[in-house]
Structure 1
Amino acid sequence: MISVILQAAEKVTSQGVRVPTEHQSVVYPLMGWWQFTNRTARAVVSLYDQG
């Protein structure tokens, strides 16, 4: 399940994210947090797979 979510996130971000100017102050920090959690999840999965 995690890999499905990570693949979907990569698909969304690889196309670029456009945000209306009035929402940038909220969306950019949230995108940073979201990317951080995605990278952390990917690292956990990798470490788990390596035993």
Structure 2
Amino acid sequence: MPLAPAPPLGTERSDDDLLVLVAEGNQQAFAVFYDRTAARVLGLVRRILVDPAQS
């Protein structure tokens, strides 16, 4: 019985699954993970540093 194909990268994959793929060198997984998390990370950095120029 053939295996079902993996779901496409995106909302179907958990962050943990994406990070496994990133560790394997998957650039598309990195792009999806970055798109999901960049805004939250930048918001956290701005709250910590206070000065937007430093972030």
Q: Same fold (TM over 0.5)?
A: no
Instruction: Write 1 or 2 for the structure with the bigger share of helix.
Output: 1
> Larger Cα Rg: Structure 1 or Structure 2?
2
When normalised by structure 2's length, the TM-score is 0.30
Q: Which protein, 1 or 2, shows the higher relative CO under an 8 Å CA cutoff with sep ≥ 6?
A: 1
When normalised by structure 1's length, the TM-score is 0.31
